[in-house]
Amino acid sequence: MARYLPEPYRIKMVEPLRVTTKEERSAAIRKAHYNLFGLKSDDVYIDMLTDSGTGAMSDRQWASMMMGDESYAGSRSYYRLMDVCDELFGWKFYQPVHQGRAAEHVLFPHLIKKGQVSISNMHFDTTTGHVTLAGGKAVNSVVPEAKDISTYHPFKGNMDTERLVELIEMYGREKVGMIVMTVTCNSAGGQPVSLANIRKTAEIARRYGIPFVIDAARFAENAFFIKEREEGQSDRPIGDIVRDIFKDADAFTMSAKKDGLVNMGGLVGIREDEELFRKARSLVVPYEGFVSYGGLSGRDLDALAVGLIEGIDEDFLRSYIGQTRYLAERLTELGVPCQLPAGGHAVFVDARAILPHVPYDRFPGHSLCVELYREAGIRGCDVGSFILDPDPETGEQPEAEMEFSRFCIPRRTYTQAHLDYVATSLQKVMADSERVKGFRIVKQEKVLRHFTAELEPYE
Ligand code: F0G
């Protein structure tokens, strides 16, 4: 029987959930045009849409918010956050922004020029969006093991460094604007990247003179996996491993809504390039606000300063990653195929294997999520072809290499009983999956369409 470290916290306040009937849920999803982002949260029982900004803050974080300094310029909260960043990363420049995509927005246009490419282990969808908006193209180079979902590999998020060199040689060094390492690699299933791989990638970036950027949304989880799985790392404090992750990079973007344990926030970090920092700041002022608040309230900056420290607490990480592992093991016991080993923040269920009769352009990952919502009130989301925007030139629907339904685990939020309910509900949906026919899109935007697209089921 799977188990995990009992939560190193207890519940002091609860948020009641509404339990709905299947009829209510069928009506709700129809009204949402079969887009899970269109549902009212009151119609959702267990919300696993994302781990982003959905975790619970600690009593210390709430207390710190009372000390928030709302000064427009030079707020104490800003300086408290800067001190914590210094302690964690040891870099020269940091800029708060309102979330991860804002960090991409203010940084990427200075690294990517029209016609250039960005190469990553895997770009997250907003990252691809901002590369595209800057006039560039996002190219992925994750190790092939990432696509082999049932074979154990400790670091399935690693960059395929041989392929990276091939790609740089193929495009030409001057056409590669940046190399992005996403830790953990969300789109490959929240899979970690090893320190050795980060170092090797940094060495290649340095050799070719290409800026090396870390997408640091889940840096603390990645550090925990390094501690657990990489040779020579098991006795080191998480904080030391975090420093090593950032040691050889030039810049980072961070959605602090994950490992920063806050509901809203983000950061840009720049190791030492003052010119780049000034350029990024020049976009912060018009888009995010003055530099010492960057789109956040003073109290948000304080909550983040505390959250960043709580987020690298080893007991917390052991318990949190234990929850994810527990759910993956329960699903495996029940015969529901999912990415193994489980990643950090989510369980990625293999929708292609469960719905082999639903082709990629009818969105199997999305279809499975809709069925599970109707059955049990659980909300997950597609990480497959549905989240890939059509090719801007041809309008064609790209086919994802993997068709996943993703079920995220918000931090410090749900209990083992919730996870058991998710596992048995998925088993039930899987047993009756033949009648699922997939969806067609009837309305969509050009960029990041999956948030607002309207769909219709095939009958
Ligand atoms: N990078 C990664 C790896 C992410 O997972 C996300 C967001 C972002 C950047 C953008 O950050 O949302 O703060 O603007 N991921 C969320 C998710 C939305 O559900 O995986 P943001």
**215 noted as active-site residue:** yes
Looking at the structure, do residues 326 and 302 belong to the same domain, yes or no?
no
**4 noted as active-site residue:** no
Looking at the structure, do residues 81 and 219 belong to the same domain, yes or no?
yes
Q: Domain of 406?
A: 22-51+313-457
Q: What angle do CA 404, 42, 325 make, to 5 degrees?
A: 35
> How many Å lie between the centroid of ligand 1 and the Cα of residue 431?
32
Domains held by the chain: number: 2
Q: Quick check: 187 pLDDT over 90? A: no
- Tell me what percent of the residues of the chain surpass a pLDDT of 90: 93
Instruction: Look at residue 188 and tell me if it is in a domain.
Output: yes
Q: What angle do CA 210, 215, 219 make, to 5 degrees?
A: 125
Q: Is the CB of 187 under 6 A from ligand 1?
A: no
The per-residue DSSP string of 72-119 comes to SSS-HHHHHHHHHHHHHH--SEEEEESSHHHHHHHHGGGT--TT-EEE
Please report, for the domain that includes residue 297, its CATH number: 3.40.640.10
Looking at the structure, do residues 286 and 352 belong to the same domain, yes or no?
no
Of 266, 283, 310, the residue that ends a domain is 310
pTM (two decimals): 0.95
Looking at the structure, do residues 68 and 189 belong to the same domain, yes or no?
yes
Axis crossing angle, helix 238-247 with helix 219-229, rounded to the nearest 10: 110
**258 noted as active-site residue:** yes
Please identify, by atom number, the ligand 1 atom nearest to the C-alpha of residue 218: 3
Of 260, 293, 310, the residue that ends a domain is 310
Q: What angle do CA 260, 264, 266 make, to 5 degrees?
A: 60
Q: Quick check: 210 pLDDT over 80? A: yes
Q: How far apart are CA 366 and CA 405, in angstroms?
A: 7
Instruction: Look at residue 10 and tell me if it is in a domain.
Output: no
Looking at the structure, do residues 163 and 236 belong to the same domain, yes or no?
yes
Q: Is the CB of 191 under 6 A from ligand 1?
A: no
Looking at the structure, do residues 88 and 28 belong to the same domain, yes or no?
no
What is the H or E stretch that residue 47 is in? strand 46-47
Q: pLDDT-derived band of residue 392, with 50, 70 and 90 as boundaries?
A: confident
Neighbour tally for 159: CB within 10 Å: 28
Looking at the structure, do residues 180 and 268 belong to the same domain, yes or no?
yes
Mean pLDDT, the chain, integer: 96
> How many Å lie between the centroid of ligand 1 and the Cα of residue 254?
9
**240 noted as active-site residue:** no
Q: pLDDT-derived band of residue 337, with 50, 70 and 90 as boundaries?
A: very high
Looking at the structure, do residues 305 and 378 belong to the same domain, yes or no?
no
Looking at the structure, do residues 390 and 411 belong to the same domain, yes or no?
yes
Q: How far is CA 426 from CA 44, 153, 330, 385, in A?
A: 16, 25, 11, 21
**439 noted as active-site residue:** no
- Note the pLDDT of residue 44: 98
Nearest to 366 by CA among 22, 13, 33: 33
Looking at the structure, do residues 428 and 385 belong to the same domain, yes or no?
yes
Please identify, by atom number, the ligand 1 atom nearest to the C-alpha of residue 345: 20
Please identify, by atom number, the ligand 1 atom nearest to the C-alpha of residue 346: 20
Q: How far apart are CA 93 and CA 82, in angstroms?
A: 9
Q: What angle do CA 98, 104, 106 make, to 5 degrees?
A: 75
Instruction: Look at residue 214 and tell me if it is in a domain.
Output: yes
Q: Is the CB of 184 under 6 A from ligand 1?
A: no
Instruction: Look at residue 97 and tell me if it is in a domain.
Output: yes
Rg of the chain over all Cα atoms, to the nearest angstrom? 21
Q: Quick check: 2 pLDDT over 70? A: no
Nearest to 402 by CA among 364, 372, 457, 357: 364
Of 310, 331, 358, the residue that ends a domain is 310
> How many Å lie between the centroid of ligand 1 and the Cα of residue 293?
20
> How many Å lie between the centroid of ligand 1 and the Cα of residue 357?
30
**124 noted as active-site residue:** yes
Please report, for the domain that includes residue 441, its CATH number: 3.90.1150.10
Nearest to 370 by CA among 36, 2, 17: 36
Q: Is the CB of 52 under 6 A from ligand 1?
A: yes
Looking at the structure, do residues 319 and 442 belong to the same domain, yes or no?
yes
> How many Å lie between the centroid of ligand 1 and the Cα of residue 123?
10
pLDDT tens for 233-263 read 999 999 999 999 999 999 999 999 999 999 9
**212 noted as active-site residue:** no
